[in-house]
Amino acid sequence: MNPEDLKQKFESAGQGHVFEFFETLTDSGKSDLLGQLEQVDLSELKALNDELVFSGGKRDDIDFSKLTPAPYKPLPADKISDAEWSSAKRAGEEAIKAGRIAAFVVAGGQGTRLGFNAPKGLYKVTPVKHKSLFQVFAEKILSASRKYGVGIPWLIMTSHINDAATRSFFAENGFFGLNPDDVIFFKQGLMPAVDASGKIIMESKSKIAMTPDGHGGCLRAMCRSGAIGELKKRGIDCISYFQVDNPLVNIIDPYFIGFHILGGSEMSSKMIPKAYELEKVGHFCLLDGKTCVVEYSDLPQEYQKMRDENGKLKFVSGSVAIHVLDRDFVERLGGNASGSAKLPFHRADKKIPHIGKNGEKITPDKPNGIKFEMFVFDALPLAKSPVIIEGFRGDEFSPVKNAEGVDSPLTCKNHQKQQAARWLAKVGCATMADSENVPVFDMEISPLFASNEEDFVINWNALPQKPEITDGFYI
Ligand code: UTP
């Protein structure tokens, strides 16, 4: 499209300001801007502005009186001796050994709350060896791959902001022992960011602010990038999905994979009982017979606090962003889906660097703009036979979201130490803890020794000589 036509189009859409500095740009600046503007779908942007910016973005389409808690498979007292859980484990192990499973981390987020100046996966999280999040995940995958004697491909979704730095980190670290051919990077899509009046934000005179399209963007990014085709070629039909900020995640969990397969599910989820009424997690619910996740910000507090006839929290199932996705399901939704089969967008208020009236760069210290994001859990109502199983928080979930306070590097480090202490207690090794029940010693168990409690007990008992447990213990 020629520049004049494009300008006309943006002006009629009320977005003409993107051309404000056009005449002052070099030829390459002009062509960069035009190239970017051609990618913007102005009618989609108008619809998003109407729905999410001018209306404040609150969901008003839920009839809460119809909402009920989604059913889930509760954790038995002992998974090993429970008939249903052990047959799920057998089915899961068979699928893993048959090479049907890939791991998948969404790592395209900007991690603004943590305030770390690099991709979040590079953040060092472990208590003794200070391993990065990516190293922890790589070692979990490597350990499962060795245990089951099979290659387990790992998909890593990045964004245009962190893709190069992520790839270099893996290359510099020898892919942490993984086969580089089994690590598949791809970038997610972008959406323009707008201000409170729906105007596209200019990041510089020749660039509009484009932000990643949310973790739900992974469905279309897997299809567009060819990652799904690659999985098909390798005979993989189950994708184990997790987030980059949670080092406790049990990535290759045969119980979970088994329940997914035996249940004929297209998308399965792990739930963790909420730690307290107003915990900031999504809630697994049923609405009109469909499983869905209702964000804490959309669920009125009276529902978040509601108790059942036994005094237990009614909406207790917290979503921790751990799923198994069927490859065909991803293809159905992320391919050429239209209308109701497409994931909806949500608004997120973020700090977005931009230019001022005279083109000067401004780095805001509080949210100044709105980005449009899709959420992966919005795929749940579209999935056949979704299965939800309960997970044990201490072995599944401790995200690093904030620089301090709740869900911070310190809470995550303490949870890793508590997990190590719990596993050691299972083999008869007691450790000292402070008044908050945090071990006084720094301790760390490498995923290469064991990445779940069952394997830890087996591997520890097989050690000819048990190591002493002192400060800085690492195995
Ligand atoms: P968060 O919701 O924590 O968002 O992402 P964020 O952008 O990483 O962090 P803040 O809100 O700016 O502090 C949850 C998971 O989804 C991924 C993140 O990388 C993380 O694994 N994500 C999020 C994407 O892959 N793409 C996105 O566009 C957004």
The values of phi and psi at residue 412, to 5°, are -65, -40
Query: What six digits make up the tokens of 259?
Result: 């329940």
Does any ligand 1 atom lie closer than 6 A to the CB of residue 108? yes
* Residue 468 burial class via C-beta count within 10 angstroms: exposed 0-12, middle 13-18, buried 19 and up: exposed
Q: What pLDDT does 2 receive?
A: 86
- The dihedral sign for the CA sequence 416, 419, 423, 424: positive
Give CA–CA dist 439/146, Å, rounded: 30
Pairing of strands 68-69, 282-287: antiparallel
Distance 417 CA to ligand 1 centre (A): 25
Paired sense of beta strands 317-326 and 238-243, if any: antiparallel
In sequence order, the 6+-apart residues with CB closer than 8 A to the CB of 326 are 237, 238, 239, 265, 266, 267
Query: Which amino acid, one-letter code, is at 59?
Result: R
Which segments of the chain have a pLDDT < 50?
none
Same domain (yes/no): 323, 423: no
Question: How far is Cα 440 from Cα 71, in angstroms, rounded to an integer?
Answer: 39
Is residue 14 in a domain?
no
CA distance to 238, 420, 423, 455, per residue, from 468 (Å): 40, 14, 15, 19
pLDDT of residue 287: 95
Which two structure tokens, joined as six digits, stand for 391?
Answer: 């997970």
Whether residues 203 and 284 fall in one domain: yes
- pLDDT reported for residue 56: 65
Say how many Å lie between the CA of residue 64 and the centre of ligand 1: 27
CB of 189 closer than 6 A to ligand 1?
no
CA angle 407, 409, 410 (to 5 degrees): 90
**Are 374 and 433 members of one domain?**
no
pLDDT, residue 172, reads 98
Name the residue of 105, 188, 245 to mutate for ligand 1: max ligand atoms within 8 A of Cβ.
245
SS3 294: strand
Q: Within a domain: residue 449?
A: yes
What is residue 59's predicted lDDT score, i.e. its pLDDT? 63
Report the number of distinct structural domains present in the chain: 2
- Token pair listed for 429: 């090794």
CB 401 less than 6 A from any atom of ligand 1: yes
Same domain, 302 and 317: yes
In a domain, 101, yes or no: yes
- Residue 307 is given by DSSP the state B
Last residue of a domain, one of 401, 429, 447: 401
CB neighbours of residue 139 within 10 Å: 19
Q: Could you tell me if residue 279 is inside a domain? A: yes
- Ligand 1 mutation pick, 137, 215, 244, 246, max ligand atoms within 8 A of CB: 215
Q: Are residues 120 and 71 in the same domain?
A: yes
pLDDT score, position 338: 61
Q: How far apart are CA 156 and CA 240, in angstroms?
A: 12
Ligand 1 touching residue 243 (CB < 6 A): yes
The residue whose CA has the least distance to atom 15 of ligand 1 is: 243
Residue 22 lies in a domain: no
> What would the two tokens of residue 377 be?
């859990």
Angle at 56 between CA 50 and CA 59, to 5 degrees: 90
Q: Whose CA is nearest to atom 10 of ligand 1?
A: 111
Distance (Å) of CA 177 to CA 21, 202, 251, 431: 49, 42, 17, 32
Co-location of 460 and 390 in the same domain: no
Q: Are residues 394 and 425 in the same domain?
A: no
Distance CA 438, CA 317 (A): 26
Q: Is residue 28 part of a domain?
A: no
- CA-closest residue to ligand 1 atom 2: 109
Give the domain range for residue 469: 405-475
Q: Would you say the CB of residue 188 lies under 6 angstroms from ligand 1?
A: yes
Q: Is any atom of ligand 1 closer than 6 Å to the C-beta of 136?
A: no
For residues 135 and 272, state if they share a domain: yes
What's the angle, vertex CA 129, arms to CA 126 and CA 130, rounded to 5?
A: 50
Whole-prediction pTM: 0.94
86 & 225 share domain: yes
Among 353, 373, 401, the domain boundary falls at: 401
Ligand 1 atom nearest residue 212's Cα: 28
CA gap 167, 176 in Å, rounded: 12
Please indicate, yes or no, whether residues 444 and 392 belong to a single structural domain of this protein.
no
Angle among Cα 126, 131, 134 to the nearest 5 degrees reads: 110
Is 6 a domain residue? no
Q: Would you call 283 helix, strand, or coil by DSSP?
A: strand
User: In the listed set 368, 401, 434, which residue is the last one of a domain according to the structure?
Assistant: 401
CATH code of the domain in which 89 resides: 3.90.550.10
Residue 308 · residue 202 · CB < 8 Å: no
Same domain, 112 and 210: yes
Chain centroid, CA 452 distance in Å: 21
pLDDT confidence of residue 278: 95
Q: Same domain, yes or no, for 359 and 419?
A: no
What is the 16 CA–ligand 1 centroid distance (Å)? 31
Nearest C-alpha neighbor of 145 from the set 191, 97, 187: 97
Task: Give nearest CA residue, ligand 1 atom 14.
Answer: 243
DSSP string, 252-267: S-HHHHHHHHHTT-SE
pLDDT confidence of residue 335: 86
Distance CA 383, CA 265 (A): 7
